[in-house]
Amino acid sequence: MDETRPIRWGILATGWIAEGFTSDLKLLPDAEIAAVGSRTLAAARAFAGTHAILRAHGSWHALADDPDIDVVYVATPHSAHHQAAKLCLEAGKAVLCEKPITLDLSTAEDLVGTARANGAFLMEAMWMRTNPAIRQIAALIADGAIGEVTAVQADFGLQGPFPPEHRLRARELGGGALLDLGVYPVTLAHLILGAPDSVAAWASLTPERTDRNTAVILGYDSGAVATVHCGFVGETGQRATITGTLGRIELPRYFYRPDRFTLVRSGEEDEIEVPLRGNGLGYEAEEVMRCLREGLLESPVVPHSATLAVMRTLDEARAQIGVTY
């Protein structure tokens, strides 16, 4: 890709996550927000007016077919991720698709296959993996800073109640705590320990048959364990701890977008600050643009294999708790 011009972004959907991502995209000097697309022209025009975007499209197809876009950010509810991302990939566009990439492993594999068949870049927008503090933590662990990792603990709970039509509850929107919230602690466990050798899950369900309070235990043949909790029946600390044979790393509240962490070894605590730019969503955009300029079809930071491995774990947990879409 031409190094002399900005990379041109299209924003697909106009909800709150699209707002946050677009705000952070404006902080990147080599990014240009070229167009926005929505299912209605009125919504696209309103979003374009708010963010000073030149072109507004009244359909996903029109955005995907826009010749002046290099990459599309898919920001729909995750029940529509597969349809929207596949449309853009088949049009030859690079895609950054919000997490979870789809509702299940088979549709996630279909997107990866579609991207490869069309020679198009695809990355899940798992912004936590591109967070500078998380990347520093992964590097420290790889260097043996806390020895062999024996446990990962993380929770992500929100204060309810939410109405039946809310995205966290509605089956037609892919509702449930596991896919919307639990994907973060499960991803953290995968990042540190890899794919688990066993999965055990339990949940209480809403009247809509989506999960509202869920626990997952991941077991590893090495002897390591990961314990994950997610839900929307009470606000949890939203913290995480990674324990090793020589120490531990503690992530503060909002562990999925940290700007600091604590390294504990031999009883001594070292708090390490890692400043966060904007909402923290721009780092995933930077990674996409780096990959596009290098001609890569997937990111080594958020590889397809990791996305599929997490989805495989989520599928197993959903099967155990009885949530289907």
Residues recognised as catalytic: 99
Q: How far is CA 147 from CA 28, 186, 283, in A?
A: 37, 21, 28
Alpha-carbon distances of 201 from 105, 190, 218, 222, rounded to whole Å: 17, 16, 9, 20
List CB contacts of 267: < 8 A, sequence separation 6 or more.
Answer: none
267 SS3 class? coil
Instruction: At 282, list the tokens.
Output: 């721009």
**Rounded Cα gap, residues 63 and 20, in angstroms:** 20
* Nearest by Cα to 233 from 259, 213, 205: 213
Do strands 71-74 and 211-219 pair parallel, antiparallel, or not at all (unpaired)?
unpaired
- Sequence-distant (6+) residues with CB within 8 A of 93 are 10, 64, 69, 70, 71, 72, 120
Q: In 3D, which of 259, 283, 261, 256 has the Cα closest to residue 271?
A: 261
CA atoms within 13 A on the CB side of 130: 24
Classify 158 as helix, strand or coil: coil
Q: Is the dihedral of CA 292, 293, 297, 301 positive or negative?
A: negative
